[in-house]
Structure 1
Amino acid sequence: MDEVATQVGAFAPLVMNAVKALVVLVLGWTVAGMIAGVVRRRINATPQIDPTLGNFVASLVKWAILAMVLVAVLGIFGIEATSIVAILGAASLAIGLALQGTLSDLAAGVMLVVFRPYKLGQYVDIGGTAGTVKDLNLFTTEMVTPDNVQIIVPNGQAWGSVITNYSAHDTRRVDLVFGIDYGDSADAAMQIILDEAKTDKRIHSDPEPWVRVTNLGDSSVDLTARLWCDAGDYWDVKFELTKAVKEAFDAKGVSIPYPHSVEIHKQA
């Protein structure tokens, strides 16, 4: 019995240390999240500072606090901070090789915040993946597609890919192509398109709407319209003007031909 009591007594400090470490870890994680939230709100409340920077700094603060919590947890088990530094120094090469992808994402995250090729709320295409930017933290960029699918892109891949930012400018050009029959008047059809464009208040008058004959196809004469609008109105203008022009063509007898072939017989 004395031997069992001795063994239990030997494990008691270890159990107590484990409980203390768990408490410190939970509290540290909670406090880190709370402080990061306060930092994010304070920075985002300043109109002069972009929200992208607020999210990034909050993420940086959270991970810095968690690093200090980890040191405190190891200290509970008797591992001093100087020993931790020595161990990390000796294992720096191995850690660097093991975490090279993560460190690359961290470095890329800093570059994304400094150069800001995209910001929160902008619609972008990163290496062929398109969506609205919802978050940019130390390691990843979070996007949401138009059909509400979450996409997580490592910052290293984002920084190393071609980035197309559809929201970078306040205005966008809408290009529409309409095909009419060869027997119809191109001038009349172009005037119909211009009239419909002028009735839409979302379409800018400067630059003025532009309509030209751009192609003589196998079955149709193609007319291209180039119109400018606010970036937020792009898709509504594109869809609604297409419908309006089609209905105006129908009302004024302009044909939109189906693809067809003409067979010609030659006598010897």
Structure 2
Amino acid sequence: METDKWIEEGYKMAMEYAPKIVMAILIWIIGNIIFSRILKIVKKIMEKRDYDISLRKFLANMFYWTFKIILILVVLGTLGIETTSFAAVLASVGLAVGLALQGSLSNFAGGVLILIFKPFKIGDWIEAQGLSGTVKEIGIINTTLNTFGNQLAIIPNGKLSNDNIVNYSAEETRRENITAGISYDSDIKKAKEILLDIVTSNEKVLKTPEPQVMVAELADSSVNLSLRYWATNANFWDCRWYVIEEMKHRFDAEGIEIPYPHQVEIQKQG
């Protein structure tokens, strides 16, 4: 009799839990199949968009473990196990870690955004956070620049992603604007012709768009002319240095005066 009772209880438990176990197994198998296909699609999208390799691995791992945790909670719930406490513990742990690593997480999130949206790439010359230089490395936490003086500058990605960034290498060409001050007694028309001749005779200065010279300001002690021209990034600084030096030589040769501050000393005899 006792044996029959145990068999009956075992049969009831089997009938009660067998469907749940079967359902949990099916959810686990089907969930993993669907997830593996989704993960492959996500990886292909990241490869197609040329995401950084380290970012690809990180996002894939994060996606993987997030799904696994969710799938495990769903399976446990299907078996009738209370998952509210598990979710509460995970939320508490996540909140504690987030508060402890608030600054680092900000830099981490900034690094992810930079690697995804790519406002600059390695080799670009950028200006940000009061620094300018060539991008040497883009990490998850920091971005490293080589400055003009060959110093190594490390900028946290949190600040970098939330502030203005000027990327001088994003476009193939750049426009320069050089201000040339001449005295009020000098011939404005002649000075403009000299400036235009300097840039149009230089092969490195682009002919299109055309260079321009205009009167920008009637200042206190000078007439300020604005010389604007375009050059490729590779030739930009060579053109600038050439124009400034040649402007001084040509103005001196043609009698165009460049005003400079004068100090007048007045002596009073008693």
Q: CA deviation at 1:184?
A: 1.6
Question: How far apart, CA to CA, are the structure 1 residues paired with 2:216 and 2:159?
Answer: 39
Question: Paired residue for 2:209?
Answer: 207
Specify every segment of 5 or more residues in structure 2 that has no aligned partner in the other structure, as ranges.
1-46, 63-85, 265-270
Amino acid at match of 1:183: D
- Aligned-partner residue type, residue 220 of structure 1: S
Aligned residue runs from structure 1 range 148-163, under 5 A:
148-163=150-165
Change (3 A) 1:153 1:261: closer
Alpha-carbon distance in structure 1 between the residues aligned to 2:229 and 2:209: 8
Aligned to 2:82: none
Alignment of 1:96-175 (within 5 A): 96-175=98-177
SS at match of 2:235: helix
Q: Does the Cα contact within 8 Å between 1:55 and 1:135 map onto a contact in 2? A: no
Shift of the alpha carbon at 1:59? 7.9
1:218 corresponds to which residue? 220
> Does the aligned pair in 2 maintain the 1:118–1:165 contact within 8 Å?
yes
Amino acid at match of 1:165: N
Post-superposition shift, 1:131?
Answer: 1.7
Match of 1:29 in 2: none
**Secondary structure, aligned partner of 1:232:** coil
- Asked whether the equivalents of residues 218 and 224 of structure 2 are also in contact (C-alpha less than 8 Å), the reply is yes
Equivalent position amino acid for 1:127 in 2: Q
Contact 1:56–1:113 (CA<8 Å) still a contact in 2? no
1:184-263 equivalence runs, <5 A: 184-260=186-262
1:30-86 CA-to-partner distances (Å, cap 9, x unmatched) read: xxxxxxxxxxxxxxxx9x976xx446448849x99xxxxxxxxxxxxxxxxxxxx99
Percent identical among aligned pairs is: 38
Deviations 1:114-143 (A, max 9, x none): 111111111112232222111112111111
Normalising by structure 2, report the TM-score: 0.64
Cα distance in 2 for residues equivalent to 1:202 and 1:208: 13
Letter in 2 for 1:190: K
Q: Secondary structure at the match of 1:161?
A: coil
Secondary structure of the equivalent of 1:93? helix
CA contact 1:59–1:137 (8 Å) conserved in 2: no
For 2:69, the equivalent position in structure 1 comes to none
Note closer, same or farther for the CA distance 1:59–1:197 as it changes in structure 2 (3 Å cut). farther
Query: Is residue 52–residue 115 contact of structure 2 (8 Å, CA) maintained in 1?
Result: no
For residues 81-96 of structure 1, the aligned pairs below 5 Å read 89=90, 91-96=93-98
Q: What is the identity, as a one-letter code, of the residue corresponding to 1:100?
A: Q
Q: Distance in 2 between matches of 1:104 and 1:125?
A: 21
SS, match of residue 171 in structure 2: coil
Identify if the C-alpha distance between structure 1 residues 170 and 211 changes in structure 2 by more than 3 Å, giving closer, same or farther.
Answer: same
State whether residues 177 and 222 of structure 1, in contact with CA within 8 Å, keep that contact through their aligned partners in structure 2.
yes
Q: Residue in 2 aligned with 1:34?
A: none
Structure-1 separation of matches of 2:179 and 2:138: 38
Assess, with a 3 A threshold, how the Cα gap between structure 1 residues 60 and 150 changes in structure 2: closer, same or farther.
farther
SS at match of 1:91: helix
**Compared CA separation, residues 171 and 179, structure 1 to 2 (3 A):** same
Q: Contact 2:55 / 2:112 at 8 angstroms: preserved in 1? A: no
TM-score of the aligned structures, taking structure 1 as reference length: 0.64
Amino acid across the alignment from 1:119: K
Alignment partners' CA distance in 1, 2:119 and 2:250 = 41
- Taking only aligned residues, the RMSD between alpha carbons, in angstroms, comes to 2.9
Return the alpha-carbon distance in structure 2 between the equivalents of residues 208 and 157 of structure 1: 39
- Number of equivalenced pairs: 194
